[in-house]
Chains A and B, each alone.
Chain A
Amino acid sequence: ETGVTQTPRHLVMGMTNKKSLKCEQHLGHNAMYWYKQSAKKPLELMFVYNFKEQTENNSVPSRFSPECPNSSHLFLHLHTLQPEDSALYLCASSQDGGTSGRAVTETQYFGPGTRLLVL
């Protein structure tokens, strides 16, 4: 496997279900991100992890719970979601999320996404 992978690619869940999205990056990066992409809206940053530590939470509802056990893996745990949470959830990674202190521009590389439908 190369790049950034995400599983599952498609997920249908009821409002009372609990499910998890998984992301794995094979690029040797130290920063990982969750984005939400809804129709007709820009990508919305949800969470950022640098070296396994959460460094940003963009006012995301608590029904979304991220987990980063190591620099290569990122999870998004879902529970009691609402129909408006239906979207494409994208994972991305970059070298170190700016934590090195260097004033460098970091490219983020994206996975294929998980298409989520909440019924």
Chain B
Amino acid sequence: EDQVTQSPEALRLQEGESSSLNCSYTVSGLRGLFWYRQDPGKGPEFLFTLYSAGEEKEKERLKATLTKKESFLHITAPKPEDSATYLCAVQANSGYALNFGKGTSLLVTP
């Protein structure tokens, strides 16, 4: 059975304090791994798709990396507006449904 585990559940950073969020997964053939950002009371906003181990993608202060067992979302010099819940999801070769983790709630304080 496909599983996605995100850690930590919650993370508090000071503005400018870089850190990483983890997404560990088990899937029977990975088609893609997705990162989304979700603000309170809103729908998830797409950030990145990673397809194969070794792949990296960047967007502003965010950088996502992928290995055969986990993905990291690195946040460099975060700002308060980066505060949100970050969701990881995997899509298996066997289908198109997304299997989500519970998310990491990030709070960046000034």
Contact = CB atoms under 8 A, between A and B. Distances in A.
Nearest to A50: B96
Contacts of A94: 96
B25 to A, nearest CB: 12
A42 B101 contact: yes
B34 to A, nearest CB: 7
Contacts of A107: 34, 46, 49
A45 to B, nearest CB: 5
Contacts, number: 58
Interface in A67-118: 88, 90, 92, 94, 97-98, 103, 105-113, 115
A105 B44 contact: no
A112 B32 contact: no
A40 B105 CA distance: 11
10 contacts: A42-B99, A43-B87, A43-B100, A88-B41, A92-B43, A98-B95, A98-B96, A106-B91, A110-B46, A113-B43
Interface of A: 4, 6, 31, 40-43, 45, 48, 56, 88, 90, 92, 94, 97-98, 103, 105-113, 115
